[in-house]
Amino acid sequence: MTKTLAEMMSNFTPQEQAEIQGEADHLIAEEMILRELRKAYNLTQTEIAKNLVLEEDNISKLEKETDLLLSTLANYIERLGGTLKLVAEFPEKQTIIIKSLTDLNND
């Protein structure tokens, strides 16, 4: 017999349940796609299009895109009021935050 999530969660203490929910919220936030991000900020495609000086149908295409230019993504995030950070993580090494995309061309 299968158990529901509520039944499984009832086996944990309230503190454990809160920790599990916190981790789940964190994982969901990490996986948020552009459309969900826009909706989380209560913005319409029309509003984003106006801010980016694009046609609304281009926003729909942008939100479905799987291979964006970093500059396009950074611009989209900035129009939402955020800042895109590029982070390079290496096993057993320090995490590097690339401050500017132009840093990539200065070698």
- Residue range 8-15: mean pLDDT, rounded: 89
- pLDDT score of 84 more than 80: yes
In the chain, where the domains are located: 13-82
Query: How far is it, in rounded angstroms, from Cα 26 to Cα 19?
Result: 11
- pLDDT score of 76 more than 90: no
Considering the segment(s) 13-82 as one domain, its CATH architecture is Orthogonal Bundle (1.10)
Its pTM stands at 0.53
